[in-house]
Amino acid sequence: MPNVPPPPTGSLDARIEDGRLTVTIHAPAGAVGLRLSPEDTRAFYRLMRQHFELQGCSGRN
C-alpha cells in the first residue's frame, strides 16, 4: 500500500465580543470567518439552548 498522507485537519474558534458571535474555521486550505449581529447572536443562542434542552443536556457537570 502506498504512503497515504493523513486527512486534512482544521480547527474552529468561537467567541462572543461586544454581544456578537464570531466564528473562524481554520483549514489547511485557508480560513473563513462568520460574525453575527447581536440580534442574530441572541437568536442563535436561544436555538442552541432549545436544541440541547430537548436532547436532555443541561450544560452543567
Q: Provide mean pLDDT across the span 56-61.
A: 63
Looking at residue 57, its pLDDT comes to 72
* Contact between 33 and 23 (Cβ < 8 Å): yes
Looking at residue 58, its pLDDT comes to 61
In a domain, 39, yes or no: yes
In a domain, 61, yes or no: no
Q: Provide mean pLDDT across the span 29-44.
A: 93
In a domain, 44, yes or no: yes
The model's confidence at residue 44, banded by pLDDT at 50, 70 and 90, is very high
| Cα→Cα distances 29→10, 15, 25, 46, Å | 9, 22, 11, 32
pTM > 0.85: yes or no: no
| The total number of structural domains that make up the chain | 1
In a domain, 1, yes or no: no
In a domain, 60, yes or no: no
Rounded percentage of the chain residues whose pLDDT exceeds 70: 85
Residue type at position 59: G
Residues of the domain holding 21 = 11-54
In a domain, 5, yes or no: no
Q: Specify which residues 61 forms β-bridges with.
A: none
CB count, 10 Å around CB of 36? 17
